[in-house]
Amino acid sequence: MDAHAQLVPPVPHVSSGPALELEALVFDVFGTLVDWRSSLIEDLTAFGAERGIVADWPAFVDAWRGAYAPSMDRVRHGEQPWTSLDALHRASFTRLATQYGFENALDEAGRRWCVDRWHRLRPWPDTVAGLRRLRTRYLLGTLSNGNVRLLADLAKSARLPMDVILSAELFRHYKPDPEVYRGAIDLLGAEPRRVMLVAAHNSDLQAAAQQGMRTAFVARPFEYGPDQQKDQVADPGIEFNVRDLGELADRLGA
């Protein structure tokens, strides 16, 4: 009977051994799990072709992503009240579309479609298989600056195996503010050392380590295109340094 098969034997199962020390893995999403750059270039190129809009779409996408940190920093530094990433993406899209000279060619539905592409990004080739393995042993969550709806749509469309969607939006603070990591630890009801952040960005991992979380760097050397310089290797002190999520699953016994 199913119910019996699922009944854990009534034996105390408080984690004690080193094998059980880690309970949950939380993942940065943009760049770490999904390839935002190739996905957006592909989608916006298709959009431009259909709408007859000529633009340097790779440059546009890089500029759009380039607006990400400064726009969040305005929120982080209190110059702007809490604003979701969807709203920040929309504002920067509109500004850039004006700058690139095609804002007048857009209608509301087209503008929404473009901003909504962040909800439909595609995973890196190792992402889904790696998460599937890790999920057999650990609780998996996102921990991203994307808002909850964006992340839920993205996890669904990219088929990312996840147990919980944790987002900066829940804490009204953007990474790397400490409130985000502390908030995630609190919602997971776990000691910090039982939670690991997996990310392709050293600054994110450093901020997590400062809150006592464990850390894994996954290399995404072409996240920003062929000329990327940053985040090629893990900073000293990062606990795991892996080339993909398959290697992380190997290392964590999943």
Site for a copy of itself contains 254 (CB under 8 A): no
Which listed range, 58-66, 103-111, 191-199, 222-230, lies at the site for a copy of itself (CB under 8 A)?
A: 103-111
Residues 6+ apart with CB under 8 A from 145: 30, 72, 85, 167, 168, 174, 175
Among 18, 189, 226, 236, indicate the residue that binds a copy of itself (CB under 8 A): 189
For the bound state, the minimum distance from the C-beta of residue 87 to a copy of itself, rounded and expressed in Å, comes to 10
What does the alpha-carbon distance between residue 147 and residue 202 come to, in Å, rounded to a whole number?
22
Token pair belonging to 29: 């999403």
Q: Between 131 and 139, whose beta carbon lies closer to a copy of itself?
A: 139
Closest among 209, 213, 199, 180 to 248, alpha carbons compared:
199
* Antiparallel, parallel or unpaired: β 24-27 and 164-167: unpaired
Minimum CB distance to a copy of itself smaller for 110 or for 246: 110
Structure tokens given for 135: 């999920």
Q: How far is the CB of 244 from a copy of itself (least distance, A)?
A: 17
Residue 141 has φ and ψ, to the nearest 5°, of: -140, 160
Footprint (CB under 8 A) of a copy of itself, residues 118-147? 120, 122, 139, 141, 147
Q: Smallest distance from the beta carbon of 165 to a copy of itself, in angstroms?
A: 5
Task: Pick from 62, 153, 177, 239 the residue near a copy of itself by CB under 8 A.
Answer: 153
Minimum distance, C-beta of residue 158 to a copy of itself, in the bound complex (Å) = 8
Distance CA 68, CA 144 (A): 13
Stretch of residues binding a copy of itself (CB under 8 A), selected from 64-72, 88-96, 109-117, 221-229: 109-117
Specify the residue, 21 or 163, whose C-beta has the smaller distance to a copy of itself.
Answer: 163
Q: Which residues inside 191-250 make contact with a copy of itself, applying CB under 8 A?
A: none
* Contact flag: residue 170 with a copy of itself (CB under 8 A): yes
Q: Applying CB under 8 A, which of residues 59, 98, 112, 250 lies at the interface with a copy of itself? A: 112
Report how far Cα 97 is from the mean position of its chain's Cα atoms.
25
DSSP H helical ranges for 138-177: 148-157
Residues 41-80 as x/- pattern, contact with a copy of itself by CB under 8 A: -xx--xx--xx-----------------------------
For the stretch 85-111, what's the b/e string if a residue is b when 16 or more beta carbons lie within 10 angstroms of its beta carbon? bbebbbebbeebbeebebeeebeeebe
- Asked whether the beta carbons of 83 and 147 are under 8 A apart, the reply is no
**Angle between the 36-51 and 57-66 helix axes, to the nearest 10 degrees?**
130
Binding site residues, a copy of itself, CB under 8 A: 2-3, 6-8, 10-14, 38-39, 42-43, 46-47, 50-51, 84, 86, 107-110, 112-113, 116, 120, 122, 139, 141, 147-149, 152-153, 155-158, 163-165, 169-170, 187-190
